[in-house]
């Protein structure tokens, strides 16, 4: 069904031209598909799957395979994208009865270029006594949390989890405006007023 238009591209060009997804880059016998490229289903051609410029890297010396690697280098750099299993830093935006929403800001210590939404459900806040979790005593809007991406979730948001010792609130402001200091895994204290507030605190080494 897909039109197999084989365009004769001159090989070995360090492209100044932009290639688009689906465009033929080279034969699979001569090139390895790198980042941004893939081997087409019939196994014979290497095609692009991103928009960008073509980049050919010579094979590393001493390897058996003497094919060059074709990569697509974006004319705008792509930021990090959360994947299941990656640790993210997010800012809590809304706390509701059964879940809390957060905006993902960094993925594995690299900042994201566009906004991703995450949801921390009540059962994913901590590992023990998950049906007695009070969302208001775990997070507040504005808290910075370290979380684990559980899955890609639904169309609206990733599913995040803080159900480990090293996950949870890493930084929070008190009602009086001071940055709070953690004193246990459930409490943080404001240095200005001495008031103690409840959070699900991350154990930071």
Partner 1 sequence: MDVDTRNMTPTNLVDKIVVPGDVVLDLTKMENQTIKLGSGLRQDCDCVSVMQAGKLRLSKPNKYWVESSQKRYVPSLEDTVLGIVVEHRSDNFLVDIKAPNLAFLPVLAFEGGTRRNIPKFETGTLIYARVVKANGIMNPELSCTDASGKAAEFGQLKNGYMFETSTGLARMLLSSPTCPVLEALGKKISFETAVGLNGRVWVNASSPDDVILVSNAITRSEFLSGTQQRIMAEKLLERLEKS
Site for partner 1, residues 36 to 95, rule: CB under 8 A:
95
According to the binding rule CB under 8 A, does residue 179 interact with partner 1? no
Nearest distance in Å: CB 193, partner 1: 5
- CA–CA distance, 121 with 123 (Å, rounded to integer): 5
Tell the smallest beta-carbon distance from residue 104 to partner 1 (Å): 20
Report the nearest approach of partner 1 to the CB of residue 168 (Å).
18
* 175 makes contact with partner 1 (CB under 8 A): yes
Give yes or no for residue 20 binding partner 1 (CB under 8 A): no
Site string for partner 1, 127-156 (x = CB under 8 A): --------xx---xx---------------
Number of residues binding to partner 1, judged by CB under 8 A: 12
- Rounded to whole angstroms, the Cα distance separating 136 from 78 reads 35
Contacts of 202 (CB under 8 A, 6+ apart): 145, 146, 162, 165, 166, 167, 168, 169, 170
Label residues 44-72 b or e (16+ Cβ within 10 Å = b). ebbbbebebbbbbeeeeeeeeeebbbbbb
Nearer to partner 1, 33 or 95 (CB): 95
């Amino acid at each position: 069904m897909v039109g197999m238009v084989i365009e004769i591209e001159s090989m070995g060009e360090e492209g100044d031209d932009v290639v688009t997804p689906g465009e033929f880059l080279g034969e699979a016998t001569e090139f390895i598909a790198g980042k941004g490229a893939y081997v087409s289903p019939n196994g014979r051609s290497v095609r692009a799957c991103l928009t960008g410029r073509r980049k050919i890297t010579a094979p590393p010396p001493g390897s058996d395979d003497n094919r060059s690697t074709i990569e697509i280098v974006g004319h705008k750099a792509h930021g990090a994208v959360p994947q299941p299993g990656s640790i993210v830093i997010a800012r809590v935006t809304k706390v509701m009865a059964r879940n809390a929403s957060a905006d993902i800001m960094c993925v594995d210590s690299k900042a994201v270029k566009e906004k991703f939404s995450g949801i921390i459900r009540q059962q994913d806040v901590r590992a023990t006594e998950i049906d007695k979790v009070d969302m208001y005593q775990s997070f507040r809007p504005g808290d910075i949390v370290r979380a684990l991406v559980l899955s890609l979730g639904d169309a609206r948001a990733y599913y995040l989890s803080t159900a480990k010792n090293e996950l949870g609130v890493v930084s929070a402001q008190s009602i009086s405006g001071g940055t709070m200091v953690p004193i246990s895994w459930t409490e943080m204290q404001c240095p200005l007023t001495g008031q103690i507030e409840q959070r699900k605190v991350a154990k930071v080494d």
